[in-house]
Structure 1
Amino acid sequence: MKRAAIVGAGPNGLSAAITLARAGVAVTVFEAEATVGGAVRTAELTLPGFRHDVGSSVYPLGVASPFFRELPLARFGLRWIEPEAVMAHPLDDGSAVMLEHSVEATAAGLGVDRAAWRRLMQPLAAGWSELCGEVLGPVVHLPRHPLLLARFGASAMLPATALAKMRFRGERARALFAGCAAHSARPLGSIASSAVGLVLAVAGQASSWPIVEGGAQALSDALAAYLVSLGGAILTGVRIRDLREVGEADAILCDVTPRQLRLLAGERLSHSYAKKLGRFAYGPGVFKVDWALSEPIPWRAPECLRAATVHVGGTLGEIAAAESAPWRGEAAARPFVLVTQPSLFDATRTPAGGPAGRHTAWAYCHVPNGWQGSALEAIEAQVARFAPGFRECVLARHVMGTKALEEANANLVGGDISGGAMTLGQMVARPTLSLYRAGAKGLYLCSASTPPGGGVHGMCGHLAALRALKDFG
């Protein structure tokens, strides 16, 4: 029987382990922390009984993932919660533009751009299952749906600012799309910055941006429990500092970024490969704050309470300016802020038996990689801009800057939550043209630093494991 060692029990490490275990490989996963999950964890960060997602919280690509959809995760406790609306984007006029669960419902709120939104989104939403398989699949593959992929690519390759201005006349549609594109952590004027925005907008309208009942940890726990049911072993609290510590293995798959791989593998790596890893670029970091609240966020636009995700940033121009700042080494004075308010739809996030009306929320904004300042005031000012009285609702705060994020999870280098900058070059050669093969026989990289990149979908780990299985012969 072949044996494999997995370093790191984030969603990609667990997905790699599951793929190998289902193929009959004996798998052992080594995790430095006391619990599995990487950035997909839940903890009481503010006050007792207030459960906060330590990293990610909303999973449009998780529910759509071709790999996750193959797995019986519901048997192991995973329950998706789909809020009434996908996402809200409040504006200064007191209204909010909404991303709804269908293209038609979204378009209905876009005024002059109703038809234009429908023309852009409907063909992609109609083929979402097929498109998802294409964009989350191997970088080099024969497209199964070439016409659909070509339609997507024609718009995806454009800068987000250009696409928004070319397609839409009104600020509502432009702002809605800009908020989706800002998840890429790239300047919205850069080539292909529309890609992430299109994927997320289409995912929401064809499916959802769900949260997990009980918190993100339940997704990680379900993956881990399924792996154990297949015979896999998970060793938590075991920090691997040298790959020799994993023992004999036919394959070692590392759910780490290139920086950690160089340290772990040492002389296993050729000089040329190690040099390439050293050139791998990390993207902007994030500054994150969690809140325990006495009541829901008092949005001026009440429709914001229909969604678990709220994009706070105003117009296309404002969002574009905010997302360009970190690439210049600056923190935006008025950042684009991504807010989640999961307790509106999941009562398990707040203390059982406590005072009625208590809630949790978190938010983050992009900052320069490794930035040591505080964005707390800027984040709260942006939220209060659209939710007057917000600060009076805060019972407690927990903040994590770039240093704290990396200390909590070494994969978040400089606070980068995407496993490396999602530039056009690094979407293809990620981290090098050898992709999952890590420069030594039997050694593989399976983190978000490989295709298809950031997001919680498990496909990086799954595809790396498939590469290892092919190499077994």
Structure 2
Amino acid sequence: MASDVVVVGSGPNGLAAAVMLARAGLRVEICEGAEQLGGGLRSKALFDSEVGHDICSAVHPMAAASRFFREFDLPARGVEMCQPEIAYGHPLDGGRAGLAYRSLDRTCEALGADGPRYRKLMRPLVMHSQGLVDALFSDQRSVPADPWALLSLPARILTQGTPIARHLFHTEEAAAMLAGVAGHAVGRLPSLPAAGIILLLGHLAHSTGWPLPRGGSQRIANALADDFLAHHGILHTGRPVTDLRELAAFRAVVLDIGPRNLLDIAGPLLPDRYRRGLEKYRYGPAAAKVDFLVSEPIPWANPELRKAGTVHVCGDQAAVYASENATTKGKRAEAPYVLLSEPMVADPTRGLPGKRPVWAYCHVPNGDPVDPTELIRRQIERFAPGFTDTVLASRSTNALQQNEYNPNYVGGDIAAGAIDLRQLAGRPVLKWNPYRTPLGGVYLCSAATPPGPGVHGMSGYFAAKSVLRNEFGIRELPSLAPDEERVE
């Protein structure tokens, strides 16, 4: 019997869409070009068969918070989300550090003179966290279920996203902490989109947290794939799609690919106006990554950082801004912003005695071919003297290699497109239903559609919702909760 829908790509959004469509009773297939499913959720052993490294994403605040994963219920499916005591830390020279504890009270206490100001910024967001998350992880076209949750955002975005941000705090620790979170925007700082990311990720540190999946990010992909297969889905790996016409037999096609990839496989088929819109889609700076195998915990000058699941390594607020702004202009920063995770801080199963994985990447210009190992090693050594002596092995992935690994990462842009006001509103092009292409039955569900990058599954969720309604007349969405008979 022929399938109803094919999903191209098995990243988190492709898997989310496939799960919803299969649970709605449709016959669904997935075509994944790589031999391993998961996209940005892949994990593998690089240096030792018993030490797991996350190849792309490692820490998952969005998966812990988003509506899709709340309903899917990863813990009930055996995926333990390990919470470090400190969600993220930010080292400064002289052994100082800004520390975002899970407890907002403890964080404010550690910030001293800036504690009351930090509390005033974060407490209303934490109190309305679910409503705020659902509004920000929306299709950006619908009225939020809890509009009151957004009332506290405009003033905070203006202060955090404009030059005012340089003068909000008395201490370097508080200012650097938020600048480090802003670096997740992979673009100019300060900016209004980066301010939104500060408020989103910043408050999640004190609500649902910044967890790491026990055993690695692949566990999330596997849980999604298991549910898909349990609902009669068919999964093909090692099967790239090079021409959209290969999929003509399916009633609907859902593409977990970016605009440039859509042009590659369907360019001649697209209407001129839509094709020109995709051609104007812009990509941002890249990520260049190093996976380290080390012999002992990172010897941070500030010992509290050894409790942090994520560490933003760059220096004070001015240093973060300078690094990110240089990269946005196409220049390689001498002291780049480095995002680092040592998974065994929260998940001791990830390594062995004397063999620990360290995950780190820095931001570089799009398409930069340079090996990032020395840039990243030097930044870590600056705040963790002796780190170099603990390194047993390393593997680097430059920006061009990121693109080879995942075609959605054009030039190494792991955000799948520049994050700015214009492109947030029209991602990938400005239209009421951004998931539906002009080609009959063909939809997009990648991070190039709202709500944008991150492991949240919501782009897949909204694309699947549109497919169900427009192609199959199904308006009642299926439950995502685990089937009781399948839960151990």
1:420 aligned to which of 408, 411, 417: 417
Which position in structure 2 is the counterpart of 1:276?
277
Whether the 8 Å CA contact 2:313–2:339 is kept in 1: the answer is yes
Which position in structure 1 is the counterpart of 2:301?
300
Within 1, Cα distance between the matches of 2:350 and 2:3?
42
Which position in structure 2 is the counterpart of 1:240?
241
Matched, 1:438 2:437: yes
How many residue pairs match? The answer is: 469
Shift of 1:372: 1.3
Partner AA of 1:374 in structure 2: D
Within 2, Cα distance between the matches of 1:163 and 1:32?
46
Whether the 8 Å CA contact 2:372–2:396 is kept in 1: the answer is no
TM-score by length of 1: 0.96
Within 2, Cα distance between the matches of 1:296 and 1:161?
37
Which position in structure 2 is the counterpart of 1:391?
388
Aligned-partner SS, 1:206: coil
Shift of 1:247: 4.5
Compared CA separation, residues 220 and 157, structure 1 to 2 (3 A) = farther
C-alpha distance after superposition, 1:278-319 (max 9, x if no partner): 100011001100000011111111101111111111100000
Aligned-residue identity in percent:
40
Aligned-partner SS, 1:391: helix
Matches within 5 A, 1:40-439: 40-158=41-159, 160=161, 162-351=163-352, 356-434=353-431, 435-439=434-438
Partner AA of 1:383 in structure 2: I
**Bigger mean CA offset, 70-79 vs 155-164:** 155-164
Partner AA of 2:266 in structure 1: A
**Bigger mean CA offset, 262-271 vs 157-166:** 157-166
Aligned-partner SS, 2:366: coil
**Bigger mean CA offset, 184-193 vs 443-452:** 184-193
Which position in structure 1 is the counterpart of 2:465?
466
Aligned-partner SS, 2:453: coil
Within 2, Cα distance between the matches of 1:207 and 1:162?
30
C-alpha distance after superposition, 1:443-465 (max 9, x if no partner): 11100000000110000111111
Structure 1: gaps (5+ residues): none
Matched, 1:451 2:450: yes
Partner AA of 1:364 in structure 2: Y
Within 1, Cα distance between the matches of 2:293 and 2:312?
19
Whether the 8 Å CA contact 1:39–1:56 is kept in 2: the answer is yes
Within 2, Cα distance between the matches of 1:442 and 1:386?
52
Shift of 1:441: 1.4
Whether the 8 Å CA contact 1:138–1:463 is kept in 2: the answer is yes
Compared CA separation, residues 76 and 191, structure 1 to 2 (3 A) = closer
Whether the 8 Å CA contact 2:159–2:165 is kept in 1: the answer is no
Aligned-partner SS, 1:231: coil
Q: Cα RMSD over matched residues?
A: 1.6
Compared CA separation, residues 335 and 416, structure 1 to 2 (3 A) = same
Aligned-partner SS, 1:238: coil
Partner AA of 1:454 in structure 2: P
Shift of 1:62: 0.5
Compared CA separation, residues 313 and 13, structure 1 to 2 (3 A) = same
Within 1, Cα distance between the matches of 2:252 and 2:156?
39
Whether the 8 Å CA contact 2:284–2:413 is kept in 1: the answer is yes
